[in-house]
A and B are shown apart, each in its own frame.
Chain A
Amino acid sequence: DSGVTQTPKHLITATGQRVTLRCSPRSGDLSVYWYQQSLDQGLQFLIQYYNGEERAKGNILERFSAQQFPDLHSELNLSSLELGDSALYFCASSGTPDYEQYFGPGTRLTVT
Chain B
Amino acid sequence: ELKVEQNPLFLSMQEGKNYTIYCNYSTTSDRLYWYRQDPGKSLESLFVLLSNGAVKQEGRLMASLDTKARLSTLHITAAVHDLSATYFCAVDWLSGGGADGLTFGKGTHLIIQP
Contacts and interface: CB of A to CB of B under 8 A. Distances in A.
A associates with B: yes
A21 to B, nearest CB: 14
A18 to B, nearest CB: 24
Interface string A1-40: 0100000000000000000000000000001010100000
A101 B33 contact: yes
A79 B113 CA distance: 44
Contacts of B45: 100-103
Contacts, number: 64
A100 B99 contact: yes
Query: Binding site of A, secondary structure by majority: helix, strand, loop or mixed?
Result: strand
Interface residues of B, number: 24
A42 B104 contact: yes
A99 B48 contact: yes
A94 B107 CA distance: 22
Interface string A75-112: 00000000000000010101011111111111000000
Contacts of A96: 97-99
Contact of B98 (A42, A90, A99, A104): A99
Given A42-B106, A56-B100, 5 more contacts: A35-B102, A43-B107, A96-B99, A100-B45, A105-B42
